[in-house]
Amino acid sequence: MFIASFQVGPWQTNCYVLRADDSPDAIVVDPGVDAQAPVIHMLADKGWGLAGVLATHGHVDHIGDAARLANRFGAPLWMHGADDYMLTRPSAGLGTQWAPYLADLLGEDALPAPEHRVDLADGGGIEAAGLRLSITPAPGHTPGSVLARLDDDAGPLILCGDVVFAGSIGRTDLPGGDSRVMLATLRDVVSFLPGDARLLPGHGPATTMARERAVNPYLQRDVLEGSSL
């Protein structure tokens, strides 16, 4: 399996490119602001097509170029429908005070709509680029945050967006965030991930579930058994 990542945009978001070794196409995960050019360059250099774009959630730093890429290649954009409120108006996910900055950054406080939208609200899975990704809703950072899991010879691989980071978790103070819902996700979803799972977060370095279970302060028993973060 091919996995590559690079950081894009002012938020240094991790954008991932995945494909099975024998696939003519790839999947792009979380192509945020300024991701389109490097993704197109990689696909052209490798001679690959684009099977689809997966958004782990709807914040602009993860979907800034998602619809542009999907539309350019006639590919689907997979995202949980609960985050549709920020799909074309990014300030809805950050707060109205961000609108002037986003207008400067993007040219306007708006993103193009995807031509082929696939809702991940029911979980399930994605089969594309020779891969099968299972999707698990993981709300809290945003209502539509998801975990995407695939398995290879090295074991489970989890694309976890901004749900969990190396040593931390995603913030819950932005519009749509909910600390109590995030606690439930950490307790009922994240804490049950296998220890050998490799975690590929939306920001920062990769980590493992075993490491996070040992050192992440938000995954300790007293926190998980509490009533709030």
- pLDDT score of 228: 81
Angle at 168 between CA 163 and CA 173, to 5 degrees: 65
Whether the Cβ atoms of residue 95 and residue 54 lie closer than 8 Å to each other: no
Quick one: tokens of 110?
């708006």
Whether the Cβ atoms of residue 29 and residue 35 lie closer than 8 Å to each other: no
Quick one: tokens of 116?
């082929």
Quick one: tokens of 31?
């192509």
Cβ atoms within 10 Å, residue 92: 20
Strand (E) or helix (H) holding 185: helix 179-188
Residues 16-43 have pLDDT tens digits of: 999 999 999 999 999 999 999 999 999 9
Whether the Cβ atoms of residue 170 and residue 162 lie closer than 8 Å to each other: yes
- pLDDT score of 227: 82
Position 153 confidence tier, pLDDT thresholds 50, 70, 90: confident
Q: What's the chain's average pLDDT? A: 96
Residues 114-132 have pLDDT tens digits of: 999 999 987 679 999 999 9
Q: Does the structure show a pLDDT above 90 at 45? A: yes
Q: Does the structure show a pLDDT above 80 at 97? A: yes
The model's pTM is 0.95
Q: Does the structure show a pLDDT above 90 at 68? A: yes
- Cβ burial of 124 (10 Å; 0-12, 13-18, 19+) is exposed
| Cα–Cα distances in angstroms (integers) from residue 68 to residues 141, 163, 170, 220, 229, in the given order | 24, 25, 26, 40, 36
What 8-state DSSP symbol labels residue 229?
-
3-class secondary structure, 105: helix
Q: Does the structure show a pLDDT above 80 at 106? A: yes
- pLDDT score of 168: 98
Q: Does the structure show a pLDDT above 80 at 183? A: yes
Contacting residues for 12 by C-beta, under 8 A, at least 6 apart? 203
3-class secondary structure, 112: coil
* Residue 170 to residue 159: CA distance in whole angstroms: 14
Rounded mean pLDDT, 149-155? 90
* Residue 108 to residue 185: CA distance in whole angstroms: 34
Contacting residues for 1 by C-beta, under 8 A, at least 6 apart? 18, 19, 20, 21, 131, 150, 152
